[in-house]
Structure 1
Amino acid sequence: MSIRHWQAWAWRLAILSVLWWAISGGDPASWAWGVPAIVAAAVLMPTFNWHLRPMALLLLIPHALWLALRGGLEVAWLACRPSLNLNTRVVEHPWHYLPEGPAQLFMASLINLVPGTLALRLASGSLQVHVLNLHDDTPASLVRLERRVAALFGIAIDKET
């Protein structure tokens, strides 16, 4: 095995360990289950040739947290006010920047983490997204998110688009 393979495996272990710690709330007893699960996931996880940009990740994290907070507040507001009319729709988001593969899958997964949205169908030409309450800026918001994911994966974007 090459050094690069070992480094990738070590990164997977580190990331999965941090995720486990966050999910378990740092409970020491959870590591009895966590360690075997983390090692199995790291071993079985397919190796992707991802070259994520650390600075783009630092910019994406607050944006994703903002989307989650805004979506959560909106869903809570709608739940507390059942008399409000929802504008539920399925939006077809055409891919502008992301090639087929891990970047598209990452964006679809990220959309699933935002309350009030759900990625329904991932295709090479588009992504179907169920939106609980469609706003005028929803399509533009999806394009902005796609641009941030493209930056994360180091995908060049024409500045004019």
Structure 2
Amino acid sequence: MFDFFVKSGLKRILFLALCWWALTEGASAWAFGVPVILIALVSSFLINPSGYRPLYGLPRFLGFFLWHSLLGGIDVARRALHPKMPLAPAFVDFSLRLTDEAACVLLINTVNLLPGTLVAELDEQRLQVHVLDKGLPILESLRTVEERVAALFGRSLNQAGDTPHA
């Protein structure tokens, strides 16, 4: 167990130092950076003690997210510029299949950043999502985002909550 923390800690310190160096553009801000890196290291162990690595699937997830953000932005712009502004707002309930708390947080933030959707409420294993057009395949989109987040975190989806409803 000690070896895990040493190996994982060294990898995390290296990653955090690299991020700090990139953010400061190589400036000599290490007097401030070292304490920040140490605080981030301790926080990372508190948030993710198991050391699972969601970064392996990150490029694929980012590609998915950027593509759908672009499509959603085009859709919102089209609706805003359309003379009749075709909107059919509604609240949609979505039963979560994810059980990992960190993955759920990323799912909620991802849904909020995609144009046309906003998570209005999280209640145990259910999201209430405000949508601009209830006629769109919202539930399928939410399932897809949930599956992508689960894959990013290396988590399986709980089959008990597999029946979202509008």
**Higher Cα Rg: structure 1 or 2?**
2
1:11 to 12, 15, 28: 15
Query: Cα RMSD over matched residues?
Result: 3.4
> Which runs of 5 or more structure 1 residues have no equivalent in the other structure?
22-27
* Contact 2:99–2:158 (8 Å) recurs in 1: no
**How many corresponding residue pairs?**
149
Deviations 1:65-109 (A, max 9, x none): 11100110011111111413311112111112x114100001111
Q: State how far apart, in whole Å, the 1-side matches of 2:114 and 2:137 are.
A: 15
Q: Percent identity?
A: 26
2:39 to 37, 40, 43: 43
Equivalent in the alignment of 1:110 = 110
Q: CA deviation at 1:3?
A: 4.3
Q: State how far apart, in whole Å, the 2-side matches of 1:152 and 1:76 are.
A: 29
* Structure 1 residues 76 and 102: CA distance shift in structure 2, 3 A: same
Equivalent in the alignment of 2:70 = 69
Tell me the TM-score normalized by structure 1: 0.72
> Which runs of 5 or more structure 2 residues have no equivalent in the other structure?
none
Tell me the TM-score normalized by structure 2: 0.70
* Contact 1:54–1:152 (8 Å) recurs in 2: yes
Q: CA deviation at 1:129?
A: 1.5
